[in-house]
Amino acid sequence: MKSYIALFEMNDGCVGVVFPDLPGLISAGDNFQDAQRNAYEALALYADNEKKLPKPRNLEQIKREWPDWKDWEKNYNFIVGLIDLLPIKQKSKRVNITLSTDLLARIDSVTDNRSGFIDSALRTMLKI
């Protein structure tokens, strides 16, 4: 699995994401978790539209080779992260699962779509 370095720019009220290996690919979110989730999705969509992706560089290579690194290091408040290239959501498959009745009642109290709720919860927990 390919993983790309992402720079998470920490601002008041939002977090921006830049991928040094993938010019033009940016993302953002209201907070770090949103930005991270959106970065996975942005990378997957980018990869889906490109014929060939560049080989990911490690952080030391980016520090040496990326023309904007010195500017970022000097002027931005950021966190370095690693984003795995995950496949775009595939079509659904019906499965049977067993849940306790109290858990089902709690799910039903907040949604009328159990499958969608469970899918969303699992994606959040798995960071995809």
Asked whether the predicted pLDDT for residue 109 surpasses 70, the reply is yes
Asked whether the predicted pLDDT for residue 94 surpasses 90, the reply is no
| Mean pLDDT for all residues in the chain | 90
- If you average pLDDT over residues 71-79, what whole number do you get? 96
Please tell me which of 24-33, 79-88, 89-98 the model is most confident about, judged by mean pLDDT: 24-33
Rounded Cα distance between 77 and 29, Å, is 16
Question: In a 3-state reduction of DSSP, which class is residue 22?
Answer: coil
Least confident of 16-25, 70-79, 98-107, 117-126: 117-126
- If you average pLDDT over residues 25-46, what whole number do you get? 93
Alpha-carbon torsion (49, 52, 66, 61), positive or negative: positive
Question: In a 3-state reduction of DSSP, which class is residue 120?
Answer: helix
Q: Which two tokens stand for residue 57?
A: 């560089």
How distant, in Å, are the alpha carbons of 16, 28, 32, 72, 76 from that of 12? 11, 12, 11, 17, 13
Q: Which amino acid is at 56?
A: P
Asked whether the predicted pLDDT for residue 49 surpasses 90, the reply is no
| Secondary structure E strands in the chain | 3-11, 14-18, 26-29, 78-84
* pTM for this entry: 0.68
The fold of 3-84 is: Double Stranded RNA Binding Domain (3.30.160)
Where in the chain are the domains?
3-84, 89-128
Asked whether the predicted pLDDT for residue 113 surpasses 90, the reply is no
Residue that is written with structure tokens 């010019």 in the block: 23
> For residue 59, which of 32, 35, 82 has the smallest C-alpha distance?
82
Rounded Cα distance between 106 and 66, Å, is 49
Task: Specify the pLDDT at position 89.
Answer: 62
pLDDT band at 38 (very low <50, low <70, confident <90, very high): very high
Residue 123, burial from CB neighbour count under 10 angstroms (0-12, 13-18, 19+): middle
Task: Specify the pLDDT at position 116.
Answer: 83
